[in-house]
């Protein structure tokens, strides 16, 4: 199997970790980390390029030395520089670096002085109170380490956006009841709409900060107060989710919101921009020669750095700052641009509402159309439709459409893509539909090549219009199946097929990086909820979040068009 960009990135990250423990030059460490990022986010497979005899493209931060290493990894599957480091250093040491409060120097000291090689070694040393005796450590940091180790050994947990949203909304509502409260906002990865959040970062302004802190720790879901201070407190909720609260002065609000929204990589890049303009940028404001020149709003922070406003979803240091400088930021899609939903089920298969209830639900949300896309017959568990039942549903849709006036129900299907890439229903039946959505629901374990070919073959069928949840992943539960997404996107482009962003919060499939790849390659996407009940139409916001993270504009999205234009666009 060819080496993937992610494999190369992983090798670079491991190298950076080990170099850091060794105390190597920080610039060298950083070079590896930034190269890892560049490679993993590069839309084309570098090994494919090299194997085709082409040269590596010019990549930012990847000079001769690193390019040589990429070639070596593609050729041999390994990197001798990393192997060398690994020989010098026992296995789990890099893991230690991921613990809160443990930098590379301390990790190295623990190894040198106490022979710590693994997390369990470290736990044993902490329990025996051998760590507090070391220089640079004390009883407090030993306790903190022990807590961090136990958390890690218990498995680090990230939370889905939907769970995070429920907590954030309820907690924000609670905090708004604080006397003298001003702004209350959730920043961090949550505001950037990352698919999962590690913790919530809430920011408030308040006449008297201690009032906000008091109210925060009194929230009824709090299980443990991890830290309580004047401007920052941390609690763990019953669900296990951790929340940071920060109280900031009004004049710092914009700078703090920007800082705590992150991402860290974006912050660092923006700070460097500011430095070039003779400015200092931090969470308290923007300063020139020690004097405050701004920071009350995010707009002001960006403007002082010489940039237009950059939307939170773009702040990943994936080229947004460069694009902003060149006036090339996309005008991102908004929820209000969406005119209908293109993937939904009813009680006829595994949905929980009738056709009429689903149509009514879509109409109530201001939509102009809704596609009904039941499962097809081979999905027996979901009572998938055979041609006869599908035709009965088409008649029912005709009758309803008569009554619905301006609103239109599209006749469609989520046809199963069989193992050999054929579709689960005959062409003449598919030909009677307005359009066809197709998806893989079985045989997730095919080889990368076989899975890719299976999907390309399915797209060869001129009736297939939209590939639903293209990677099949379930966040935190099922890995995406092996597939060459670049080939799939190119295949879609060549065939006039389209891809879906499935809005189910545990799918979010395509993800942000692949969305952006599709946009750059010129393939339009459907934002679809896969609703099994009317309430699930509201999942659209999650798809919109991922689309924005993938740099999509209104024009990149199919269901921003009128019904007539949509059908024209889908026609193959």
Contact residues: Ca ion, CB under 5 A: 188-189, 199, 201, 244
Query: For residues 137 and 260, which CB has a smaller minimum distance to ligand DGT in the complex?
Result: 260
Q: Taking CB positions, which residue lies at the least distance from ligand DGT?
A: 262
Using CB under 6 A, pick the residue from 94, 209, 262, 491 that binds ligand DGT. 262
CB of 280 to ligand DGT, least distance (A): 13
- Say if residues 414 and 374 touch (Cβ distance below 8 Å): yes
CB of 164 to ligand DGT, least distance (A): 9
- Say if residues 167 and 446 touch (Cβ distance below 8 Å): no
CB of 262 to ligand DGT, least distance (A): 2
CB of 274 to ligand DGT, least distance (A): 12
CB of 488 to ligand DGT, least distance (A): 28
50-61 burial, b if ≥16 CB within 10 A, otherwise e? beeeeebeeeee
CB of 104 to ligand DGT, least distance (A): 15
The secondary structure element, H or E, covering residue 69 is helix 64-76
Using CB under 6 A, pick the residue from 43, 160, 198, 496 that binds ligand DGT. 198
- Say if residues 346 and 374 touch (Cβ distance below 8 Å): yes
Dist CA 75 CA 260 (whole Å): 41
Of ligand DGT, Ca ion, none, which one does residue 66 interact with (CB within 5 to 8 Å by kind)?
none
Dist CA 347 CA 335 (whole Å): 27
**Total residues in contact with ligand DGT, by rule CB under 6 A:** 14
Binding status of residue 275 toward ligand DGT by CB under 6 A:
no
Binding status of residue 438 toward ligand DGT by CB under 6 A:
no
Query: For residues 260 and 410, which CB has a smaller minimum distance to ligand DGT in the complex?
Result: 260
Of Ca ion, ligand DGT, none, which one does residue 542 interact with (CB within 5 to 8 Å by kind)?
none
CB of 200 to Ca ion, least distance (A): 6
- Residues with Cβ < 8 Å from 214, sequence gap 6 or more? none
Q: Taking CB positions, which residue lies at the least distance from Ca ion?
A: 188
CB of 191 to Ca ion, least distance (A): 9
Q: How many CB atoms lie within 10 A of CB 274?
A: 20
| Chain position carrying tokens 């004097």 | 291
Of ligand DGT, Ca ion, none, which one does residue 166 interact with (CB within 5 to 8 Å by kind)?
none
- Say if residues 111 and 31 touch (Cβ distance below 8 Å): no
Query: For residues 188 and 550, which CB has a smaller minimum distance to ligand DGT in the complex?
Result: 188
Using CB under 6 A, pick the residue from 38, 267, 504, 546 that binds ligand DGT. 267
Binding status of residue 264 toward ligand DGT by CB under 6 A:
yes
- Pairing status of strand 498-502 against strand 242-247: unpaired
Q: How far is CA 60 from CA 64, 68, 264, in A?
A: 12, 15, 19
Dist CA 354 CA 360 (whole Å): 10
Using CB under 6 A, pick the residue from 95, 113, 143, 199 that binds ligand DGT. 199
Binding status of residue 188 toward ligand DGT by CB under 6 A:
yes
Query: For residues 163 and 350, which CB has a smaller minimum distance to Ca ion in the complex?
Result: 163
Using CB under 6 A, pick the residue from 12, 260, 407, 481 that binds ligand DGT. 260
Structure-token pair, residue 450: 């076989």
Dist CA 487 CA 235 (whole Å): 46
Binding status of residue 302 toward ligand DGT by CB under 6 A:
no
Q: How far is CA 207 from CA 215, 297, 393, in A?
A: 14, 18, 60
Query: For residues 241 and 467, which CB has a smaller minimum distance to Ca ion in the complex?
Result: 241
Binding status of residue 263 toward ligand DGT by CB under 6 A:
yes
Structure-token pair, residue 69: 């290493």
- Say if residues 82 and 14 touch (Cβ distance below 8 Å): yes
Dist CA 40 CA 43 (whole Å): 8
Considering only residues 489-548, where is the footprint of ligand DGT by CB under 6 A? Answer: none
Binding status of residue 189 toward ligand DGT by CB under 6 A:
yes
Binding status of residue 268 toward ligand DGT by CB under 6 A:
yes
Structure-token pair, residue 558: 């199919």
- Quote helix, strand, coil % in the chain, to nearest 5: 50, 15, 35
- Positions that interact with ligand DGT (CB under 6 A): 188-189, 194, 197-199, 201, 259-260, 262-264, 267-268
């Amino acid at each position: 199997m060819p080496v993937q960009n992610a494999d190369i990135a992983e090798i670079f990250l491991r190298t950076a970790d080990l170099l850091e423990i060794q105390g190597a030059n920080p610039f060298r460490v950083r070079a590896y980390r930034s190269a890892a990022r560049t490679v993993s986010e590069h839309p084309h497979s570098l090994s494919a390029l090299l194997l085709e005899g082409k040269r590596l493209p010019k990549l930012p931060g990847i000079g001769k030395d690193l390019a040589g290493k990429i070639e070596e990894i593609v050729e041999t599957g390994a990197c001798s520089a990393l192997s060398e480091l690994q020989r010098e250093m026992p296995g789990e040491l890099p893991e230690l670096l991921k613990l809160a409060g443990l930098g590379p120097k301390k990790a190295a000291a623990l190894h040198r002085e106490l022979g710590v090689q693994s997390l369990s070694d470290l736990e044993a040393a902490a329990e025996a109170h051998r760590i507090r005796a070391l220089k640079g450590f004390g009883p407090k940091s030993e306790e903190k380490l022990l807590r961090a180790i136990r958390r890690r050994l218990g498995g680090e947990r990230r939370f889905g956006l939907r769970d995070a949203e429920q907590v954030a909304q309820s907690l924000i509502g609670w905090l708004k009841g604080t006397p003298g409260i001003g702004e209350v906002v959730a920043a961090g990865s949550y505001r950037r709409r990352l698919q999962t959040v590690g913790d919530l970062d809430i920011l408030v302004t308040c006449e008297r900060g201690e009032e906000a802190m008091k109210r925060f720790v009194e929230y009824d879901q709090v299980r443990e107060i991890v830290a309580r201070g004047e401007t920052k407190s941390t609690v763990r909720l019953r669900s296990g989710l951790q929340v940071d609260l920060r109280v900031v002065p009004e004049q710092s609000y914009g700078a703090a919101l920007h800082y705590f929204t992150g991402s860290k990589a974006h912050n660092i890049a923006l700070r460097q921009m500011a430095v070039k303009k003779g400015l200092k940028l931090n969470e308290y404001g923007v300063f020139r020669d020690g004097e405050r020149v701004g920071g009350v709003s995010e707009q002001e922070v960006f403007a002082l750095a010489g940039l237009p406003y950059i939307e939170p979803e773009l702040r990943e240091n994936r080229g947004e700052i460069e694009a902003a400088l060149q006036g090339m930021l996309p005008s991102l899609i908004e929820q209000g641009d969406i005119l209908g939903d293109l993937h939904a089920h009813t009680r006829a298969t595994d949905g929980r509402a009738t056709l009429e209830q689903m149509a009514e639900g879509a109409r109530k949300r201001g939509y102009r159309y809704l596609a009904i896309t039941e499962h097809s017959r081979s999905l027996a568990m979901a009572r998938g439709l055979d041609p006869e039942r599908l035709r009965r549903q088409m008649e029912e849709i005709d009758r309803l459409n008569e009554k619905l006036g301006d609103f239109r129900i599209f006749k469609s299907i989520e046809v199963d893509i069989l193992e050999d890439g054929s579709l689960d229903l005959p062409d003449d039946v598919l030909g009677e539909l307005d359009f066809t959505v197709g998806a893989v629901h079985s045989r997730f374990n095919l080889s990368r090549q076989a899975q890719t070919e299976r999907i390309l073959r399915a797209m060869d069928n001129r009736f297939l219009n939209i590939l639903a949840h293209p990677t099949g992943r379930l966040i935190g539960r099922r890995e995406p199946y092996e597939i060459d997404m670049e080939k799939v996107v190119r295949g879609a482009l060549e065939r006039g097929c389209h891809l879906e962003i499935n809005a189910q919060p545990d799918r979010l499939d395509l993800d942000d990086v692949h969305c952006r790849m599709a946009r750059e390659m010129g393939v339009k996407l459907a934002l679809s909820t896969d609703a099994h009940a009317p309430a699930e139409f509201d999942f659209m916001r999650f798809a919109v979040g991922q689309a924005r993270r993938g740099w999509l504009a209104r024009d990149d999205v199919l269901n921003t068009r009128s019904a007539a234009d949509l059908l024209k666009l889908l026609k193959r």
